[in-house]
Structure 1
């Protein structure tokens, strides 16, 4: 039975547990802390358990022992980036972004301090620069510049680095990812600066607004949905008209 380290995080209690000398974190408190539905996220995790390395660990909770679905702490950052803030309810969007920016680093810091204190009581690890938070911010910035979901950016760079769950906590991989993202952000700004700025100026004069390709696709899906609803309404009106015609043509009406 594992001993859990309790980690207070923005009004919720998260946990870190050790198994085979490696830190794991129970996923249900994280998912519910963000305001997401645990059942749907649990299903997603179970669709690819090898990818995420999920395990069940017995943890004492409120005087009882419960089996918790846990993720290796080194993979938490990658999993958090699979959630697109643009696709969640507006009421929890800020909370989701907060978890993406801070959660894995806070849990890792608690784990580091705990293990350091256990082996060397006289030493306390000093806070390290939060480079993964900066990396997450760069991902969001590039997604906004390109007009695509954050998840798409993460998938793209997973392929670029040949690592489906980049970065794995390595300082080298984090530095490489930062450098690559900063370069691509600079290129995206150059691309957007001239033609898009001119187009936005013209659109503003006409009382219009330039939207991204992602927004255009979303608008297209909305139009298709509305068209389908109109088609269904037309079918219902035609059916109603036929029924009315049959009724009025009945001998009952003379």
Structure 2
């Protein structure tokens, strides 16, 4: 039976437990602390147990022993980033962002100390921001400015950096990503600050149309999809034509 370290976090009690000499954290407390539905998140974790490495651990809580679905603490950051703040209810959005920015660092601090400080010494101040925390903040800001999901931003940057695992990378690649994100945010602010009607009028005078980078990407994806559909239809037509030719050359015809 594992011994749990209790971690007070913005009004909720989270936990860290040791399993196979590694820190794990029970996920139900985190999910419900964020204000999310545990059943749907449990399904997501359970549908891909190899990716998340979840295990069931017996933990003593309130004088009783309960089995809890736990995630390796090293994988918590990745799971937190699967939650898109602009897809959750507005009343829990700030809390979701708080968990994404602070939760994994706070749990790690408690784990490395191997003990929970006394209640009167607990501070809920956010840890000093690291590159990954800053990265998630920039991703969310750019998504808000462009009116897209954070997942779309991540996919776009995966293509920019030619790294399907982005932002899983070294400190150098994270620093480059920060610079690129800050530049794109500045450009997005300039575009958003200009009245759209004014931009459209100016563009019309020059025989142009205002269109954003993401509009272009959406058009490209649509064209690619249409071309793939056309190619598939051509393959079927060739197959049907071949079958028809074979049938017509069959001796039983005519």
Q: Within the alignment, does 1:177 sit opposite 2:179 as a pair? A: no
- Give the 3 Å change call, closer, same or farther, for CA 191–64 of structure 1 in structure 2: closer
Aligned residues: 195
Q: Within the alignment, does 1:44 sit opposite 2:44 as a pair? A: yes
Listed as ranges, the gaps of 5+ residues in structure 1 are 116-126, 218-254
Query: Residue 107 of structure 1 corresponds to which residue in structure 2?
Result: 107
Contact 1:105 1:130 survives alignment (8 Å) = no
- Give the 3 Å change call, closer, same or farther, for CA 187–62 of structure 1 in structure 2: closer
- Report the Cα distance in structure 2 between the residues aligned to 1:211 and 1:98, rounded to whole angstroms: 34
Name the SS of the counterpart of 1:138 in structure 2. Answer: helix
Q: Within the alignment, does 1:25 sit opposite 2:21 as a pair? A: no
- Report the Cα distance in structure 2 between the residues aligned to 1:40 and 1:163, rounded to whole angstroms: 24
- Give the 3 Å change call, closer, same or farther, for CA 199–2 of structure 1 in structure 2: same
- Give the 3 Å change call, closer, same or farther, for CA 137–178 of structure 1 in structure 2: farther
Name the SS of the counterpart of 1:185 in structure 2. Answer: helix
Q: Within the alignment, does 1:130 sit opposite 2:126 as a pair? A: no
- Report the Cα distance in structure 2 between the residues aligned to 1:13 and 1:197, rounded to whole angstroms: 42
- Report the Cα distance in structure 2 between the residues aligned to 1:21 and 1:97, rounded to whole angstroms: 30
Output the TM-score relative to the length of structure 1.
0.66
Q: Within the alignment, does 1:189 sit opposite 2:186 as a pair? A: yes
Query: Residue 141 of structure 1 corresponds to which residue in structure 2?
Result: 141
Listed as ranges, the gaps of 5+ residues in structure 2 are 116-125, 202-209, 219-254
- Report the Cα distance in structure 1 between the residues aligned to 2:96 and 2:194, rounded to whole angstroms: 34
Give the superposition deviation at 1:56. 0.9
- Report the Cα distance in structure 2 between the residues aligned to 1:73 and 1:211, rounded to whole angstroms: 43
Name the SS of the counterpart of 2:170 in structure 1. Answer: helix
Contact 2:16 2:23 survives alignment (8 Å) = yes
Output the TM-score relative to the length of structure 2.
0.66
Give the superposition deviation at 1:14. 0.2
Query: Residue 202 of structure 1 corresponds to which residue in structure 2?
Result: 198
- Give the 3 Å change call, closer, same or farther, for CA 179–128 of structure 1 in structure 2: farther
Name the SS of the counterpart of 1:68 in structure 2. Answer: strand
Give the superposition deviation at 1:38. 0.5
Give the superposition deviation at 1:46. 0.9
- Report the Cα distance in structure 2 between the residues aligned to 1:67 and 1:51, rounded to whole angstroms: 21
Contact 1:135 1:174 survives alignment (8 Å) = no
- Give the 3 Å change call, closer, same or farther, for CA 156–61 of structure 1 in structure 2: farther
Contact 1:16 1:23 survives alignment (8 Å) = yes
Query: Residue 83 of structure 1 corresponds to which residue in structure 2?
Result: 83
Contact 1:81 1:154 survives alignment (8 Å) = no
Cα RMSD of the aligned pairs, angstroms, is 3.3
Q: Within the alignment, does 1:13 sit opposite 2:32 as a pair? A: no
